[in-house]
Structures are given as C-alpha cells and as structure tokens.
C-alpha cells in the first residue's frame, strides 16, 4: 500500500470523525453543567438542513455555516426554555426536540433533495501540504477540522483552568450548593445548553457542507446518539471525545472498504459496524476507568431555585 493511499485513508478517517467531535464537545459542556440534552440528533439535522439551504441560495459556505450554528442554537434555546426556564423533564424534552428537528429539517430541505454544491475548500500551504503522508493530514484539512481541535483544547482549558469552568462544574455537581454560593445556576446552564446547540448545529452543517456535500433526508444517520454515547463513555473528558470520534471514523472507513471488497457479509451488518465498534470499545474503556466515569451529580435534575 502506497503512502498516498495511507494518507488518503487517514484523511478520510479524520473527516468521518468531525461531526462527532463537534457534537460531542458541545454535549459535554451541557452535561458538565448538569443538563442532559437528548436532542443532539435533532439539532444536528436542523443544522445540516438550514446550513445547506442557506449556502445553496446565497452561494456562501460561511453564511451556510453560520445558519447551521444558529439553527442548533435555536433548537437548544427551545429546549433550554422548557427545561431550565419552566423546569420540564429533560429526557422528554430532548426526545421531543429530536422529533421536532427531524420533521422540521425534512420540511425545510424537501425542495433541495438531490441538489449539490461545492464542498468547503481545504487548506493548501505550499510545500507543507505536499509533504508525503502528513501533508494533507496536517496542513490540508478543511476549516472545521482545525476548529474542532481548537474547541477540544479550549474546552479542556476552560473546564479545568478558569473560574468560569469551575463554576460550571460546580453547578453540574450540586446546583443547590452552587446557588447558595451566589452562582447564577440557570444562566450558566442556559449558556452551556446554547453552546451545545451551536456545536451540534455546526456538526450537522459539516455533513451537508463538507462531508457529502448535499442535502438528504435523515443524513445524520444516528450520529447524534453516538455523540451522546461518546460523552458518557469518555468519562466527560474532552480529549477522550477526540479518541472515540476517531475510532468511529476508522470503523466507518473500514466498513466502506469491507463493502468494496465484497466479503459476503450482509450490507446492514457492515453499515452497523462503526456504531457497534465505537460503543464496544468505549464501554471497555469506561470499565477499565470506572472510578473516573462518574457523571456530574446533578445531571438531569431540574433546578427550582429562584434568581
């Protein structure tokens, strides 16, 4: 196997992992604040739909990306009002958001099925991008890849090296004690939920603006649920989100090569391979590190205090 083919496979793995990294890091922040948002899939598909439609109509990938981000934040805002403002059940509200997002996205994108546009261009640095094996992998990615890496590093720094991150974690661990110390519990949680929605919207936008790039019904294919699983099995640690997402990307590429090789296995089994491999590997990881896998103590619990 030539270096060029190896490089292509590695680049494809990174590309396949990006939606999970973006959505996973946003959900991690929300859960660290004590909010369980099961509507990641709905926010992702909204971002994919509105992002593609906006980019197609305006001819601007930047505007499409902004629209995807805002679509995710809109869904998250509705969820936040219901659960944080009105004290609604987080599980039921998250599931409702997923159903609402899927239906709305299919309605918005109904007239654009089959339409295509050029994918967001990748970076090209003379000489560096042409290096064997690592050129395109490191210096030839699209802007979303570098944004995802910055988000992971920034999230780690924010959570463990800033007062705001400490406050967010305090709210997630014990919202009553955090409130007694003067922290604005609802404000912190709402901001965390909006951040999670923005990341989920961008993850969906990545699918329709970079990964495919076109709009198709239900194109998220359960990636929102995988992102939720990544947060749990990554023990709520940002860098493990990256590892789990890359594992999923690798399994996705392996599945495509297995189908191309005609191994005689059922197509449905091969399609499920990335999801099964990711969940099994992360379950094993969480078992080995079970003491570090504790969820925030107030996760999923409504806060009824007044500000």
* pLDDT above 80 for 67: yes
> Which residues, in sequence order, are bridge partners of residue 116?
214
- The reply to whether 279 falls in a domain is yes
- pLDDT recorded at residue 248: 80
- pLDDT recorded at residue 161: 96
Contacts of residue 154, defined as CB under 8 A and 6 or more positions apart, other chains included, come to none
Question: DSSP alpha helices (H): ranges in the chain?
Answer: 3-32, 40-58, 61-80, 90-108, 135-139, 143-161, 163-173, 175-180, 185-206, 223-233, 238-260, 267-288
- pLDDT recorded at residue 257: 63
* pLDDT above 90 for 8: no
Q: How confident is the model at residue 120 (pLDDT cuts 50, 70, 90)?
A: confident
- The reply to whether 303 falls in a domain is no
* pLDDT above 70 for 158: yes
Q: What CATH number did the domain enclosing 57 receive?
A: 1.10.3470
Q: How confident is the model at residue 114 (pLDDT cuts 50, 70, 90)?
A: confident
- pLDDT recorded at residue 62: 94
Residue 271 vs residue 41, higher pLDDT:
41
Q: Which of 169-173, 219-223, 285-289 has the highest mean pLDDT?
A: 169-173
- The reply to whether 298 falls in a domain is no
Query: With contact defined as beta carbons under 8 Å apart, do 208 and 215 qualify?
Result: yes
Residue 50 vs residue 4, higher pLDDT:
50
Q: Terminal CA-to-CA distance of the chain, rounded, Å?
A: 63
- The reply to whether 302 falls in a domain is no
How far apart, in whole angstroms, are the C-alpha atoms of residue 56 and residue 282? 38
Residues of the domain holding 107: 3-292
Which of these ranges, 49-53, 70-74, 84-88, 272-276, has the smallest mean pLDDT?
Answer: 272-276
How many C-alpha atoms does 113 have within 13 Å on its Cβ side? Answer: 10
- The reply to whether 72 falls in a domain is yes
Total structural domains in the chain?
Answer: 1
- pLDDT recorded at residue 232: 85
Share of the chain above pLDDT 70, in %: 87
- The reply to whether 41 falls in a domain is yes
- pLDDT recorded at residue 264: 57
- pLDDT recorded at residue 25: 96
- pLDDT recorded at residue 79: 97
How many C-alpha atoms does 279 have within 13 Å on its Cβ side? Answer: 11
Q: How confident is the model at residue 289 (pLDDT cuts 50, 70, 90)?
A: low
- pLDDT recorded at residue 103: 94
- pLDDT recorded at residue 126: 81
Q: What is the mean pLDDT of the chain?
A: 87
pLDDT in tens, 270-281: 667 667 766 776
């Amino acid at each position: 196997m030539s270096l060029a083919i190896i490089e292509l496979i590695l680049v494809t793995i990174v590309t396949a992992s990006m939606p999970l990294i973006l959505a996973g890091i946003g959900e991690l922040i929300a859960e660290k604040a004590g909010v369980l948002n099961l509507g990641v899939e709905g926010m992702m598909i909204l971002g994919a739909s509105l992002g593609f439609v906006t980019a197609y109509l305006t001819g601007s990938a930047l505007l499409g990306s902004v629209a995807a981000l805002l679509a995710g934040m809109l869904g998250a805002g509705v969820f936040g009002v219901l659960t944080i403002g009105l004290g609604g059940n987080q599980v039921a509200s998250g599931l409702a958001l997923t159903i609402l997002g899927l239906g709305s996205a299919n309605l918005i994108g109904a007239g654009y099925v089959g339409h295509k546009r050029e994918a967001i261009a990748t970076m090209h640095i003379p000489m560096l991008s042409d290096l064997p094996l690592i050129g395109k992998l490191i210096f030839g990615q699209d802007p979303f890849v570098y944004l995802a890496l910055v988000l992971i590093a920034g999230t780690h720094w924010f959570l463990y090296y800033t007062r705001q991150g400490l406050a967010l974690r305090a709210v997630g661990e014990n919202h009553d004690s955090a409130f007694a110390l003067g922290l604005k519990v609802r404000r912190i949680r709402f901001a965390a939920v909006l951040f999670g929605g923005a990341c989920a919207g961008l993850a969906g936008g990545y699918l329709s603006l970079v990964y495919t790039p076109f709009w198709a019904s239900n194109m998220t294919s359960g990636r929102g649920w995988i992102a939720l699983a990544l947060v749990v099995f990554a023990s709520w640690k940002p860098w493990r989100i990256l590892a789990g997402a890359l594992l999923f990307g690798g399994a996705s590429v392996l599945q495509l090569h297995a189908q191309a090789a005609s191994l005689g296995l059922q197509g449905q089994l091969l399609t499920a391979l990335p999801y099964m491999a990711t969940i099994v590997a992360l379950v094993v990881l969480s078992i080995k590190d079970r003491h570090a896998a504790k969820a925030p103590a107030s996760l999923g619990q409504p806060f009824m205090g007044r500000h």
